[in-house]
Structure 1
């Protein structure tokens, strides 16, 4: 997955999210382009329900600051290394998992090399039925000189089907039946759900005009 997302949720998508997680969302306006370090909407479990909170996109481990990670990209975490990478391991194994709802994510066109002064070309990837994409995420909390900082990373996996022609990674998208396993299951069950949940044929992608 690249480091660009969107949360322009349709009325149907908002209804889906409310049905899944309850009246925990505040719709503050559509964003066509969410970049690293921007607030990224997340859903976390709380006692008796869920909490929807925007967190800094780009996970910062405890004891570190954004300045320490200025040249390190932590917006994505590979599913296959969650239990071995020190940056993400504690958060994953200790259950700091979340859901990242998106209306779409973007991948750069692999066939296009921009010339000087030319912009990248992007593929926008979405569900054609307008329903939200629900990606597995891991979040962390750390103390910084500016106070407590909560941050998130989007978990990625190998792409399904023909999406491999666009990029070699994709968000670990979850069907509603697997949300509980990712959020509250034991580590192995959570990894298996994130790896197997999303089938081929549910995504549509096209170059952004």
Structure 2
């Protein structure tokens, strides 16, 4: 699951995603920070700002908690259980899908029993448009309406690169590791994700080709450089 990504710069946001929202956001995103996301607006689309970490319905606090009051991790939504999820089911059935702008995202590469932060950017230099869901929560104390969002994730056990991320489960065979990754959407599919039917949206949840990536160990302020091979 992805718990860190970086928002594209302002010029990139305007160029690829539209007019900037008035609210402030964080450029380096971690759970419960506020970031921009693209959602449908009538027949068009609009960038808005919300909390990364979807707030469950009827929650008494903006910090996601379950019906039993325990803290929930809601920055990632497993596509297999979205429709029946207490947190994600309503937004999914109502078509509240969104696109999350990311210049890069980070996953933990597991080697020699050590996690290395591994960053993924697009080889063409453009920002990612990652599939997500959004919702709105009203603070019962103040009446403030707070948008929130989550990234959709999919199994990547069969992907030659992405399957190398995350610690392997020694009790599971290689084809049943349940490794997870985000869902990149190409620009030509954005309107289908935002405005299409559930069936059309489900058809867009696909593993990306290896050629789409430029990747490597994450270093502060480092440029993305393509690797000649995969991590080993």
- Give the structure 1 partner of residue 98 of structure 2: 98
Can you give the 5+ residue segments of structure 2 that lack an aligned partner in the other structure? 167-178, 220-232
| Alignment TM-score, normalising by the size of structure 2 | 0.75
Larger radius of gyration: 2
Q: How much has 1:61 moved relative to structure 2?
A: 2.1
Match of 1:153 in 2: 150
SS in 2 for 1:86: coil
Q: 1:136 offset after TM fit, Å?
A: 0.7
Aligned pairs (5 A) from 1:102-113: 102-111=102-111, 113=113
Alignment match, 1:34? 29
Length-normalised TM-score, structure 1 = 0.83
In 1, Cα distance between equivalents of 2:204 and 2:102: 19
Q: Helix, strand or coil: the match of 2:19? A: coil
Q: 1:10 to 1:200 in 2, by over 3 A?
A: farther
Unaligned ranges ≥5, structure 1: 115-119
Q: Map of 1:1-209 to 2, 5 A cutoff?
A: 1-9=1-9, 14=12, 18=14, 20-24=16-20, 31=27, 33-64=28-59, 65-67=61-63, 69=65, 71-111=71-111, 113=113, 121-144=116-139, 145-146=141-142, 147-159=144-156, 160-167=159-166, 168-195=179-206, 198-209=208-219
Change (3 A) 1:170 1:23: same
RMSD of aligned Cα (Å) = 2.5
